[in-house]
Amino acid sequence: MRTQRLDTSPQSIAVAAELLRHGELVAFPTETVYGLGGHALDQAAVAAIFAAKGRPTSDPLIVHLATAADLPRVAVDIPPLATELATHFWPGPLTLIVPRHPHVPRTVTAGRETVAVRVPSHPIAHALLVAAGVPVAAPSANRFGHTSPTTADHVLADLDGRIAAIIDGGPTPIGIESTVLDCTTNPPTLLRPGGISLEALTAMAGPIQTYHRTTDRSETGLVSPGLLDRHYAPDHELWLFSGPPTAVLHRLRSEAETALAAGLRIGLLLPAEDLVLFDDLPVEMESLGPVTEPETMAQRLYAALRALDARHPDRILTRDLDESGLGRAICDRLRRAAARLVIV
Ligand code: TXA
Ligand code: MG
């Protein structure tokens, strides 16, 4: 199968919508990352999503809707808090876990009685969902376990020939996936930090429990199967240094020097301010942007990881960032992508 590359014209969106309605797979931009879309109520299309990604069928998909008014099409017994949050944060990068409507195939929800739903704010995603007129299941458009795609080229690097089409809408503005909040627990549970900060959610919803992978994880009892370790990973080893920034940078520099002396190729993924400290070393560098701009760092994170990967370093070194606001989501992805965590 050749993957058709479509522009964002109304004619192209009509073509993509028609493909979706007929059970074909179409990748499209959202405000977070590119999604790999398929008709959510069509069993065969849903099965094709898992196959194209190489994703285990135990990992449920997010259903995307054109508007919050469509929520009763895919969910029942919607908790009042979910309605409140939807009213406030949709369209936008928040995924709500709510009880599943019986006509949503169990393949979408990986056998669960709950379904993940979101209404994206990206104008192309919105136009596509309106034109398709059906709920669209869409995981991030990467091979399973790989870094999420923030450009059409990232998608094609992973999925060219495996999907019918992609709409190229340029780089995605937020760059990191949606926040996933389980509204079926009391208080609600943050399953994945993302584009809407925990602070913003708490201001609206009151107390929220956070899910701790290290303590809650078991082989059989994963709350959210996407919360596996070694997720979002680059092809080359990522080492994450955690601790007070000054000490971390000192340690990072000595690790880089030792590795270089041993003949290894080293990549650095750091805020712009940090990189100047390594200017004199023969290393590959990718800047996340100013450390004071978490939005910029989130937007660049996955593209920077892929760019470093493409230069085949033996090891990529990075550090923890401040966890407030979007920083929580960035640190979460770095931890999951890391092959090794070094506490300084
Ligand atoms: O920003 C995003 O959310 C992007 C764009 C394309 O919308 N999508 C995305 O999908 O990141 P995916 O499949 O890569 O991540 C969905 C996450 C997974 O961790 C999955 O386990 C979790 O949501 N999830 C889906 N349904 C669930 C459910 N019923 N209960 C608990 N977790 C669920
Ligand atoms: Mg994903």
Instruction: Give 100's strand partners.
Output: 75
C-beta 332 within 6 A of ligand 1: no
Q: What is the pLDDT of residue 344?
A: 94
Do 268 and 317 form a contact (C-beta atoms < 8 A)? yes
Nearest to 256 by CA among 266, 247, 270: 266
pTM of structure? 0.94
Atom of ligand 1 nearest to the CA of 118: 7
C-beta 35 within 6 A of ligand 1: yes
> Quick one: tokens of 296?
């910029």
Q: What is the pLDDT of residue 258?
A: 97
C-beta 192 within 6 A of ligand 1: yes
pLDDT in tens, the chain (344 residues): 899 999 999 999 999 999 999 999 999 999 999 999 999 999 999 999 999 999 999 999 999 999 999 999 999 999 999 999 999 999 999 999 999 999 999 999 999 999 999 999 999 999 999 999 999 999 999 999 889 999 999 999 999 999 999 999 999 999 999 999 999 999 999 999 999 999 999 999 999 999 765 434 333 344 454 444 556 677 789 999 999 999 999 999 999 999 999 999 999 999 999 999 999 999 999 999 999 999 999 999 999 999 999 999 999 999 999 999 999 999 999 999 998 999 99
What is d(CA 110, CA 104) in angstroms, rounded to the nearest whole number? 11
Ligand 1 atom 19: the closest Cα is on which residue? 226
Q: What is the pLDDT of residue 211?
A: 75
C-beta 70 within 6 A of ligand 1: no
Q: Order the strands of the 237-242 sheet from edge to edge.
A: 284-287, 266-270, 315-319, 237-242, 340-343
